[in-house]
């Protein structure tokens, strides 16, 4: 096993830069740089030397394995954060036989050494990437093992059910309860309902992690770009009285109620012979199909067009723009004026409520990735086979299949094909 190192703090000039080292050679390289090893898990101020040259005066920490983040011998060097200092220490580590870490390699080693399961590792990645308070709370619950704890409880119950089913098969002629086989199936189906309930909530957790997609749609010159700028509180899209100015999708990232939102302005919906504008309309309709929410905009001083009204549904909010120009407002529509600001607080509140409703803001640990959904979905599918399995042996196989599916959630088996995907999302040094 090679010994790795990486800058664990941000790049660039700073007061302090943290260099992490992990692997079987961590102790030897630390001794080479600072002399005698410091007391484990206690910061020690030392001079770093290599080739007879003082590199820096730094705080040094020594973490003998397995009591470390990775489970291996590890060290941290808290350096002065100038680029020249960091570069000099990195060069010294390479000269001493250390290897620069790959993205996520520290956490991957922690997983392989049993320091955390795959869901906790993913939670750490999400914690690093969290943009909002709600994302931070969700990621922290997962990093601290909330999802793993639920998995462990389900796995224990499935294991007990499998043991009872196997007992029914192996000792059918012994003095066992006559309804043991039926009771196992009933208990398994009760467990299946718990899993299905969590599975139904999965899209909400994924939306909180990835962000809610909101598309602004409407006819040309319906005030969509002005609406985007007003909600984003900056000039993100070009605004013109000329119809058809927006030809492509213009995106803005913002936060609403603690939930990250991608707000997209789209081309005006209308029949057109212009090849470029027609492509813009196609992209607008595609964005409408993929969006979690749709803001359907129409000008208050004109009748709503049929193309916009055709997109109405439970995931749509009708917005009557240009309210300062007068006209009648369609029933159920929110009247706003990007010019005066009238109606914008009400629209923002309605949009925030809709976004929060679609995101997983529960305090319980939930599913946050398609991988989680696939693993638990496989488990539920196996449990669905129990009532229709004609033989006790097939019912036992269904329970074993459910256990295999559940184990993929935390990475206890069949994990090699997902490890690169999971840990490739990390930044270097984590």
What pLDDT shows up at residue 95?
A: 96
Structural domain includes residue 114: no
Q: Using CA atoms, how far apart are residues 356 and 258, in angstroms rounded to an integer? A: 8
Q: Using CA atoms, how far apart are residues 144 and 124, in angstroms rounded to an integer? A: 9
What pLDDT shows up at residue 358?
A: 86
Structural domain includes residue 112: no
Same domain, 217 and 80: no
Asked if residue 31 lies in contact with residue 37, where contact means CB atoms within 8 angstroms, the answer is yes
Closest by CA to 138, choosing from 369, 353, 352, 349, is 369
Same domain, 247 and 266: yes
| pLDDT tens-digit readout, 170-224 | 665 555 566 677 888 899 999 999 999 999 988 888 888 888 999 999 888 888 8
Q: Using CA atoms, how far apart are residues 152 and 418, in angstroms rounded to an integer? A: 20
| pLDDT reading at 164 higher than 90 | no
Same domain, 309 and 184: no
| Average pLDDT value for residue range 287-315 | 87
| pLDDT tens-digit readout, 64-80 | 999 999 999 999 999 99
pLDDT band at 234 (very low <50, low <70, confident <90, very high): confident
DSSP class of 386? G
Same domain, 191 and 148: yes
Residue 247 in tokens: 């030809």
Closest by CA to 269, choosing from 321, 320, 215, 219, is 219
Feature table: binding site for Mg(2+): 225, 246
* Upper half-sphere CA count for residue 3 (Cβ side, 13 Å): 21
Element (H, E) at 264: strand 259-265
What pLDDT shows up at residue 426?
A: 52
What pLDDT shows up at residue 242?
A: 58
Domain at 221, CATH number: 3.40.50.300
Domain span including residue 76: 4-101
| Average pLDDT value for residue range 286-295 | 91
Question: For the chain, what is the mean pLDDT?
Answer: 86
Same domain, 173 and 216: no
Structural domain includes residue 111: no
Same domain, 330 and 370: no
Structural domain includes residue 12: yes
Asked if residue 111 lies in contact with residue 430, where contact means CB atoms within 8 angstroms, the answer is no
Structural domain includes residue 115: no
| Average pLDDT value for residue range 396-423 | 71
Instruction: Lay out the sheet containing 259-265: strands in order across.
Output: 250-256, 259-265, 212-218, 293-299, 316-321, 334-335
Residue 269 in tokens: 């919906």
| Average pLDDT value for residue range 364-386 | 91
DSSP class of 324? G
| pLDDT reading at 53 higher than 90 | yes
Length of the chain: 430
Contacts of 111 (CB under 8 A, 6+ apart): 117, 118, 121, 411, 419, 423
| pLDDT tens-digit readout, 83-115 | 999 999 999 999 999 999 999 999 999 999 989
Give Cα 220 to chain centroid, integer Å: 35
Feature table: binding site for GTP: 221-226, 240-246, 265-268
Same domain, 228 and 329: yes
Same domain, 341 and 229: yes
| pLDDT reading at 414 higher than 50 | no
Residue in the block written with tokens 């983040």: 69
Name the percent of the chain lying above pLDDT 90.
43
At residue 425, φ and ψ (nearest 5 deg) are -80, -15
| pLDDT tens-digit readout, 304-318 | 788 888 888 899 999
| pLDDT reading at 240 higher than 60 | no
Feature table: binding site for (6S)-5-formyl-5,6,7,8-tetrahydrofolate: 20, 76, 115, 430
Same domain, 296 and 165: no
Per the model's pLDDT, the better-predicted residue between 339 and 244 turns out to be 339
Feature table: binding site: 20, 76, 115, 221-226, 240-246, 265-268, 430
| pLDDT reading at 327 higher than 80 | no
Same domain, 30 and 61: yes
Alpha-carbon torsion (408, 410, 416, 422), positive or negative: positive
Contacts of 12 (CB under 8 A, 6+ apart): 83
Structural domain includes residue 116: no
How many domains does the chain divide into?
3
Domain at 190, CATH number: 1.20.120.430
Same domain, 325 and 352: yes
């Amino acid at each position: 096993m090679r010994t790795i190192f990486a800058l664990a703090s941000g790049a660039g000039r700073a007061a302090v830069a943290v260099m992490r080292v992990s692997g079987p050679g961590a102790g030897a390289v630390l001794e080479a740089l600072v002399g005698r090893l410091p007391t484990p898990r206690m910061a020690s101020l030392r001079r770093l030397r290599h080739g007879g040259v003082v590199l820096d005066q730094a705080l040094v920490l020594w973490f003998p394995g397995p009591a470390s983040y990775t489970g291996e011998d590890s060290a941290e060097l808290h350096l002065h954060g100038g680029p020249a200092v960091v570069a000099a220490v990195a060069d010294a580590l390479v000269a001493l036989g250390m290897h620069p870490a790959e993205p996520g390699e520290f956490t991957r080693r922690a997983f392989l050494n049993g320091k955390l399961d795959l869901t906790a590792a993913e939670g750490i990645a999400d914690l690093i990437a969290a943009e909002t308070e709600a994302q931070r709370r969700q990621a922290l619950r997962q990093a601290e093992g909330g999802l793993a704890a639920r998995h462990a409880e389900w796995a224990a119950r499935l294991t007990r059910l499998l043991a009872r089913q196997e007992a029914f098969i192996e000792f059918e002629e012994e003095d066992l309860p006559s309804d043991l086989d039926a009771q196992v199936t009933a208990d398994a189906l009760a467990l299946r309902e718990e899993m299905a309930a969590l599975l139904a909530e999965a899209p909400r957790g994924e939306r909180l992690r990835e962000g809610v997609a909101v598309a602004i749609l409407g006819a040309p010159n319906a005030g969509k770009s002005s609406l985007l700028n007003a909600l984003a509180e900056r000039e993100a899209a070009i605004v013109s009285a000329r119809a058809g100015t927006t030809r492509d999708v213009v995106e803005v990232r913002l936060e609403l109620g603690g939930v990250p939102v991608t707000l997209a302005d789209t081309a005006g919906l209308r029949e057109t012979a212009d090849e470029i504008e027609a492509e813009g309309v196609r992209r607008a309709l595609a964005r409408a199909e993929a969006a979690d929410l749709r803001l359907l905009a129409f000008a208050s001083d004109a009748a709503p067009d049929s193309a916009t009204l055709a997109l109405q549904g439970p995931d749509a909010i009708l917005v009557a723009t240009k309210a300062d120009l007068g006209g009648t407002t369609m029933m159920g529509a929110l009247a706003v004026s990007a010019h005066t600001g009238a109606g914008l607080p009400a629209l923002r509140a309605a949009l925030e409520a809709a976004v929060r409703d679609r995101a997983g803001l529960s305090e319980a640990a939930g599913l946050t990735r398609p991988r989680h959904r696939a693993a638990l979905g496989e488990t539920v599918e196996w449990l669905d086979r129990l009532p229709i399995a004609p033989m006790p042996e097939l019912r036992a196989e269904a329970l074993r299949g459910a256990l295999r599916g559940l184990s993929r959630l935390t990475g206890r088996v069949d994990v090699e094909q997902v490890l690169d995907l999971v840990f490739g999302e990390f930044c270097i040094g984590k």
